[in-house]
Chains A and B, each alone.
Chain A
Amino acid sequence: RKEVEQDPGPFNVPEGATVAFNCTYSNSASQSFFWYRQDCRKEPKLLMSVYSSGNEDGRFTAQLNRASQYISLLIRDSKLSDSATYLCVVIGVSEGGFKTIFGAGTRLFVKA
């Protein structure tokens, strides 16, 4: 089992749709969680951090469920510009400090 697993993509949705991604992690001691966005042939960029209480940034809502060991990302009112790969990132403790693990990403295509 991979340490971080994401929904297989791609997701093809029309503009204005609501879409949700899930990400599961295997290490119950994981400490921090993030969603990054990566455009084609570009570097990952932080979209938002994920907290147990949930957090919202405009059309984006992220949620953490520690008991079930998954995080989610909800995108409302999808825009064409939301088309990208969304990477789940989990940080846990390792011998050298903290260990960062990326999921393989979920690709989103938003169509006009």
Chain B
Amino acid sequence: DAMVIQNPRYQVTQFGKPVTLSCSQTLNHNVMYWYQQKSSQAPKLLFHYYDKDFNNEADTPDNFQSRRPNTSFCFLDIRSPGLGDAAMYLCATSPFSGRATDTQYFGPGTRLTVL
């Protein structure tokens, strides 16, 4: 089945130790998103790609970076994780038809723990 896959599902890292989360999709969508969701809060958009065009949200900390080497894969790099970065990280994709009505499809998320 076409889907959005995130690896790993659970990630434990140490304070300040770089970590990379991955997302892959078989939907052939050209838009990919990364969200951060903390407990009982709304998913917060960190950045997104329209194909290779990177769009960073204004309030996304510099500690968060992203790479999209091809249509199928997108990575979230946290350069120096702090305790406040512990959260669920959600990857989503959508087809870009130029309309705001495009539905986003979410992966299962990666739950990050920072020790």
Contact = CB atoms under 8 A, between A and B. Distances in A.
Interface of A: 4, 31-32, 34, 41-46, 49, 87, 91-93, 96-105
Contacts, number: 55
Contact of A87 (B42, B53, B88): B42
Given A100-B45, A103-B42, A104-B41, A44 B103 contact: no
Instruction: Name the interface size band of chain B.
Output: 20 to 34
Q: Name the residue among B42, B50, B53, B106 with the largest chain A CB count within 10 angstroms.
A: B42
B43 A44 contact: yes
14 contacts: A31-B101, A32-B101, A43-B108, A43-B109, A46-B103, A46-B105, A91-B100, A96-B50, A96-B53, A96-B55, A97-B50, A99-B45, A104-B40, A105-B42
Contacts of B35: 102
- What DSSP secondary structure best describes chain A's contact surface? strand
B100 A93 contact: yes
A104 B42 contact: yes
B104 interface: yes
A34 B103 CA distance: 9
Contacts of A100: 33, 45, 104
